[in-house]
Structure 1
Amino acid sequence: MPARHARLSPSAVQTQLAESLAALRRELELPGEFPAEVIAEADAVVASGEAVDGSDAERADLRDLAFHTIDPEGSRDLDQALCIARDGAGFVVHYAIADLAAFVRPGGAIDAETHRRGQTLYAPDGSVALHPEVLSHGAASLLPEQDRRAYVWRFALDAAGAQHGPARPPVRAWVRSRRQWSYVDAQAAVDRGDAPDALALLAEVGPALVAQEAARGGASLNSPEEEIVATDAGYDLRARVTLPIEDWNAQISLMTGMAAAAIMLERGAGILRTLPAADAEAIAEFRRRVAAIGHPWPDDMPYGEYLRRVDHADPAAPAIMQAASGLFRGADYVAFDGVRPEQPIQAAIAAPYAHTTAPLRRLVDRFVLAMCTDAPAWAREALPGLAETMRRSGSLASRLEAGAVDRVEAAVLHGRVDEEFDATVVSQTKGGSRIQIADPFVTATISDPRDPGSTIRVRLTGTDIGEGRVTFAVV
């Protein structure tokens, strides 16, 4: 006879979850409200209407270009806007990136606070922003029907997505977005055929850039994500697989990051996002694991092509993607000035790459954009410490995400103790296995070694919302 477990009311579960998430914030020492001097400086900069670096005097006027933003539903921190047009048999892509350098005075209160934070942190009970809201949701955000300052990149592509000539630095300009699209609405408009040309052409350019990625040996690990969704009753967990338009839009961002890296390497100073190539041992291990799962990797097939062919509806897909994660380890930031990095490549992209398209949410992007234009002294002088700042904030973001997911999983499953679920084994762990349940989309560990890719039946034996822990046993 199964053991009895105390069952909390839905409101009590949500109260306990809120307390657990608050405790996680305290444990990780997340930043709180912005200091008064930071808010005051941001308000003053916006009220002045002038760029702090005097860049408006030579700013180009590109407000005639029909830019569009594509972001998750409800987003207000809009970093990027795109505009695509045909050019003979090819395309011209304009990509606008929010100009934070026009609002952040080097050495000022905002600058110091953003270095302390590093990046925007996301949690179910609210994000911890990199910049004050008057900037990130207001004057610096590329909101629709507003004149905004931006760095604008221009890419001339042939019909196959290849670029004409070397990367060109962006120009600082005034832009005006025509509409803010959610991913769902943008995908629907493209599918119906009634999207404006500046957006609709992404359906041609995106796949062409994916083909370019395949040709240079790159790979995208587009595995389903465990997404926390706010509901009327609290939170839920769902498997989220990206829409095609998200992947196409990401290719524009990757193209921009590669252009930024190429410019900084040519000039001899900057900061790259690197990833070493998988070593022979990791590749051999991946081959063994997918062969054991029953999906061998052909010797004559690039690993990027193999991953692109994985069917996410296949029950073995989670195990394959988990195994593939072993090929994508060691990502880092590498700053340089005068001496080219020994290893400048981001192996998953198969090219040098730099973070440059999210300056509202990530500190390093503001410096990359500056280094790609006039490389001011304030940007160059910050390079040595910038890599460590991003490592620190990246580690914090990962710990926050993992801790939040664990706690929400425990809350979602509370009250379902003794229920049974179908699960897929995604990997073996020390003394056990990592499993994934499809509904709700939960990952957990069992103390029972099982073959990756196999399907098993498990029973939920306990939950602990405060500690963010769930336990299962094989039936």
Structure 2
Amino acid sequence: MQRFLAAPDIDFDAIRHELGVSEDYGADAQAEADQAIDRCVADRDDHTDLPVVTIDPPTSMDLDQAVHISADDDGFLVHYAIADVAALVPPEGALDQESRRRGTTIYFPDRSVPLHPRSLSEGAGSLLPEQTRPCVLWTIRVHPDGTVGDVAVRRSTVRSVAKLSYAGVAADAAAGRLHPSIAALPAFGDLRQRVALERGAVELDLPDQEAVHDDAGWHLELAPHTPADRWNSQLSLLTGMCAGTIMADAGVGLLRTLPPADPDAVQELRNAATTFGVDWPAEATVGQFLAGLPPDRPTTLALMSLGATLMRGADYLVLGTDRAGDPPSSPLPPEKMVHAAIGGVYAHVTAPLRRLGDRFATEVCLAVTAGKPVPDWVSRALPTLPKLLRSADQLAASADRASIDLTESVLLAGRVGQTFDAVVLHAATEHRPAQVFLGDPAVIAACDGSPPQGSQLRVQLTEADPATRTVRFAPARAS
């Protein structure tokens, strides 16, 4: 495919250096990863006869999840195997401490910097095909109406039979040739998405802005989510809600929370829909309205971007102890434990190779469902995790934004004065300039003036500086 703009080379090392991100884990932590052994081998059930498969980007090697899903008259039976990182990382050892310092895998366009050394994250801990691996196996019954029935979680071993990709699964589904292990995935995903919207969930289908390298060099593109992305996300959401419920009912654990959207922000979205001439049925929730928008209209991207502003204030909540590790003085009200965009109690447990908190939340779920005390090393860590995770999330967002900003500025350098077609994502406010989106290259940048949100206009590039990673436009003058 011929790209409108491409750059032969972009160096992201400066961003890694600026952010202090490297693959130097220290000798002791690296040694623990290289020599990782399963310390829970005696506690495992054997499910290597269960033909689970993984669904990930084609180049990924840190495979956290493997799935087998079947349909019957009672609905769906989901087997969701999650990499058992806690069994491979010695509690409170050098690798544990190093992973707490990092908090998450950091992604750059040219490569990732993993939370754990690659010998673990892409080796001993990864659910690679045709490899017997330790896992935490969630078995969840979903009724025909989409509600959850029995939930079991236990340590096990599995052996993935195939490494699939999102695009491949979407293509196979369209052709009617899905792998037997996930033949029921589309029906399951559609059902759970419909139930989510009915309970008030908000699922933004914004495409990802990505810097991609091919034979022509680096370029920017929007990567829309495939149906397989959406189906697969329902597996993680289902498991995360089950985990959240287990911990909330037990009063101990680590939840992911989000307060309800500010009414003024919802009204702003409604006003924008009216301005654009987009109908918002009176009975439709925010989530139902956004899910029903036509994907091929420029106003949809603007409304989805505005919808993202409703999801502010996401945080982590520790149950069972306060920040000092003592029992809380009073129980939390249920509304403080909810993730508003999901429409229920929720926790991260499905990506322990890439996210620190998942390892600890999973251990709580294992202990609670087995009727055992939460391990001391987990109880000691829980009060410290929210601060670590917030910092890690901020670092990951900074790495992503800086990488995209650099790519935008390199691609557009030397083209100051040229004009482009754009859509206004956000109108100017007192505190920030307007933001416009260009289709090719897929650039999002500041724009001078006061162009109305959702409008299409011709803009002129006024600044593109790779040294400061800055790109800026202005409305083009009529010729």
TM-score norm. by structure 1 comes to 0.92
Matched, 1:113 2:113: no
CA contact (8 A) 2:106 2:114 kept: yes
* Counterpart for residue 315 of structure 1: 298
* Counterpart for residue 427 of structure 1: 426
* Counterpart for residue 443 of structure 1: 444
Q: Cα deviation per residue 1:301-360 (whole Å; 9 max; x = unaligned)?
A: 111100101112101112101211221111001112155444001101000100110000
Structure 1 residues 10 and 235, CA gap change in structure 2 (3 angstroms): closer
* Counterpart for residue 260 of structure 2: 277
More divergent stretch after superposition (204-213 vs 457-466): 457-466
Q: Could you say what secondary structure the match of 1:422 adopts? A: strand
CA contact (8 A) 2:133 2:157 kept: yes
Task: Decide which of 329, 332, 340 is 2:312's aligned counterpart.
Answer: 329
Give the 4+ runs in structure 1 shifted more than 4 A: none
Matched, 1:152 2:153: no
Matched residues in 2 for 1:240 and 1:382: separation? Answer: 37
- 1:241 Cα offset (Å): 0.9
Structure 1 residues 271 and 192, CA gap change in structure 2 (3 angstroms): same
* Counterpart for residue 51 of structure 1: 38
Unaligned segments of structure 2, at least 5 residues: 1-5, 321-326, 368-373
Over the matched positions of the two proteins, sequence identity in percent amounts to 39
Task: Decide which of 175, 182, 198 is 1:192's aligned counterpart.
Answer: 175
Structure 1 residues 336 and 10, CA gap change in structure 2 (3 angstroms): closer
More divergent stretch after superposition (192-201 vs 57-66): 192-201
Matched, 1:71 2:56: yes
- 1:33 Cα offset (Å): 1.7
- 1:197 Cα offset (Å): 2.2
Q: Could you say what secondary structure the match of 2:298 adopts? A: coil
Q: Cα deviation per residue 1:216-262 (whole Å; 9 max; x = unaligned)?
A: 11120111221111223432110111000110000010000000000
Equivalent residues, number: 453
- 1:89 Cα offset (Å): 4.4
Q: Could you say what secondary structure the match of 2:161 adopts? A: strand
Which residue identity does 1:362 align to in structure 2?
R
* Counterpart for residue 5 of structure 1: none
Which residue identity does 2:121 align to in structure 1?
S
* Counterpart for residue 390 of structure 1: 389
CA contact (8 A) 2:318 2:382 kept: yes
* Counterpart for residue 458 of structure 2: 457
* Counterpart for residue 171 of structure 1: 154
* Counterpart for residue 340 of structure 2: 347
Q: Could you say what secondary structure the match of 1:387 adopts? A: helix
Structure 1 residues 299 and 10, CA gap change in structure 2 (3 angstroms): closer
CA contact (8 A) 2:70 2:183 kept: no
CA contact (8 A) 1:169 1:373 kept: no
Alignment of 1:233-248 (within 5 A): 233-248=216-231
Provide the alpha-carbon RMSD of the alignment. Answer: 1.6
Task: Decide which of 346, 353, 366 is 2:359's aligned counterpart.
Answer: 366
* Counterpart for residue 4 of structure 1: none
* Counterpart for residue 408 of structure 1: 407
- 1:451 Cα offset (Å): 0.7
Which residue identity does 1:402 align to in structure 2?
R
* Counterpart for residue 371 of structure 2: none
Q: Cα deviation per residue 1:128-148 (whole Å; 9 max; x = unaligned)?
A: 110011110011000001100
Q: Cα deviation per residue 1:428-447 (whole Å; 9 max; x = unaligned)?
A: 23464110011111001111
Q: Cα deviation per residue 1:105-146 (whole Å; 9 max; x = unaligned)?
A: 011111010000000000123211100111100110000011
- 1:169 Cα offset (Å): 4.1
Q: Cα deviation per residue 1:198-232 (whole Å; 9 max; x = unaligned)?
A: 11110111101111102211120111221111223
